[in-house]
């Protein structure tokens, strides 16, 4: 059946000594036509707030998005985050560590914007340290945008490509979601807890591997045959239902 993964069981119930890491787009929230068009349901904010309290703060968002965008989307919540595919880390004490943008990036962004103007509906998302080229609204732009990103690697030493849903991104190669989850697990209140990571995309695979190596629970949203995830849920709505069910019958 569409959306169900016959090879991976749903995740088990969690305990209060787990640490919960959650991807955003395609995992907590359905995709939208443009990055700024996603809708975070009010009930999800309540669920995350309750879960964070239940886990004594050991809940983090792990996303390709920027920290300030995540804070805006989930306000008034201000959770620990691993943003920019692992290149910005805000720990529970509020301290932010971020990879420094490369000097060559503004010229690459300008050239990408010029290219996108030639393909109606194509988008360039300038995230400072990284750049995302989107073709969700114009599938024919996939080939030129991918070719641009591959060629731009030569202008951005130390960068790698990060493919995703209708997007190709240029990100520094020195970190990923797996290293970010590992770094958060060194910090209170995550330290010593068994990690759980929910994600949907290729950028989430290093996170799944980090969690698996620590005896944790890896949860793929959707279906992907070669994923390292050991559990699956079909879509963001079922993730929200699962999260909402976790604290039922328990007091924080």
List contacts with ligand L263DTV3 (CB under 6 A).
Answer: 23-26, 31-35, 38, 63-65, 125, 132, 134, 136, 164-167, 201, 203
Give residue for tokens 């998005």.
65
Give yes or no for residue 216 binding Mg ion (CB under 5 A): no
Binding mask 19-38 for Mg ion (x = CB under 5 A): ----x-xx------------
CB-nearer residue toward ligand L263DTV3: 33 or 114: 33
Q: How many residues bind Mg ion (CB under 5 A)?
A: 5
Find which of Mg ion, ligand L263DTV3, none residue 222 binds, CB within 5 to 8 Å per kind.
Answer: none
Q: Which of 70, 200, 219, 239 binds Mg ion (CB under 5 A)?
A: 200
Beta pairing, strands 194-199 & 18-22: parallel
CA separation (Å) from 207 to 102, 153, 157, 211, 243? 25, 24, 24, 6, 19
Cα gap 82→66, rounded to integer Å = 9
Distance CA(169)–CA(179), nearest Å, equals: 18
Residue 169 interacts with Mg ion (CB under 5 A): yes or no: no
**Could you give the residue numbers annotated as active site?**
23
Measured from the CB atom, the residue of 64 and 216 that comes closer to ligand L263DTV3 is 64
Tokens of 226: 């070669």
**Contact between residue 103 and residue 129 where contact means Cβ atoms under 8 Å apart:** no
By C-beta, is 5 or 125 nearer to ligand L263DTV3?
A: 125
User: Could you tell me which stretch among 136-144, 193-201, 209-217, 222-230 binds Mg ion (CB under 5 A)?
Assistant: 193-201
Q: How far is the CB of 249 from Mg ion (least distance, A)?
A: 30
Q: How far is the CB of 226 from Mg ion (least distance, A)?
A: 17
Collect all residues with Cβ–Cβ distance below 8 Å to 201 and sequence separation of at least 6: 23, 25, 26, 164, 165
DSSP-derived 3-state class of residue 161: strand
Q: Which does 35 bind (CB under 5 to 8 A by kind): Mg ion, ligand L263DTV3, none?
A: ligand L263DTV3
94's torsion region: left (phi>0), alpha (psi -120 to 50) or beta? Answer: left
H or E, element range at 140: none
40 closest CA partner among 180, 251, 239? 239
Q: For the CB of residue 33, give the shortest distance to ligand L263DTV3 in the complex, in Å.
A: 6
Beta bridge partners of 126: 131
Minimum gap (Å) between residue 61 Cβ and ligand L263DTV3: 8
Structure tokens at 195: 């990690």
Distance of closest approach, residue 103 Cβ to Mg ion, in angstroms:
29
Under the binding rule (CB under 5 A), the answer on residue 205 touching Mg ion is no
- The answer to whether the CB of 132 falls within 8 A of the CB of 145 is no
Interface segment toward Mg ion; rule CB under 5 A; list 45-53, 111-119, 198-206, 222-230: 198-206
Where do contacts with Mg ion occur on this chain (CB under 5 A)? 23, 25-26, 200-201
């Amino acid at each position: 059946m569409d959306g169900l993964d016959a090879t991976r069981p749903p995740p088990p119930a969690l305990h209060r000594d787990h640490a919960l890491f959650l991807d955003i787009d395609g995992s907590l929230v359905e995709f939208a036509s443009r990055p700024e068009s996603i809708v975070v349901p009010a009930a999800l904010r309540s669920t995350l707030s309750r879960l964070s309290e239940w886990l004594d703060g050991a809940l983090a968002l792990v996303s390709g998005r920027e920290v300030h965008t995540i804070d805006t989307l989930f306000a008034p919540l201000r959770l620990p985050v691993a943003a920019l595919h692992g290149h910005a880390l805000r720990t529970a004490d509020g301290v932010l560590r971020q990879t420094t943008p490369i000097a060559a990036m503004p010229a690459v962004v300008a050239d990408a914007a010029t290219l996108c103007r030639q393909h109606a509906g194509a988008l360039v998302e300038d995230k400072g340290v990284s750049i995302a080229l989107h073709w969700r609204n114009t599938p024919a732009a996939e080939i030129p945008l991918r070719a641009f990103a591959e060629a731009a690697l030569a202008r951005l030493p130390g960068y790698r490509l990060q493919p995703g849903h209708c997007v190709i991104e240029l990100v520094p190669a020195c970190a990923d979601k797996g290293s970010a989850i590992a770094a958060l697990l060194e910090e209170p209140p995550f330290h010593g807890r068994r990690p759980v990571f929910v994600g949907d995309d290729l950028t989430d695979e290093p996170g799944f591997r980090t969690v698996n190596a620590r005896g944790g629970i890896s949860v793929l949203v959707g279906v992907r045959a070669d994923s390292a995830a050991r559990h699956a849920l079909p879509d963001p709505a079922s993730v929200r239902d699962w999260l909402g069910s976790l604290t039922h019958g328990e007091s924080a």
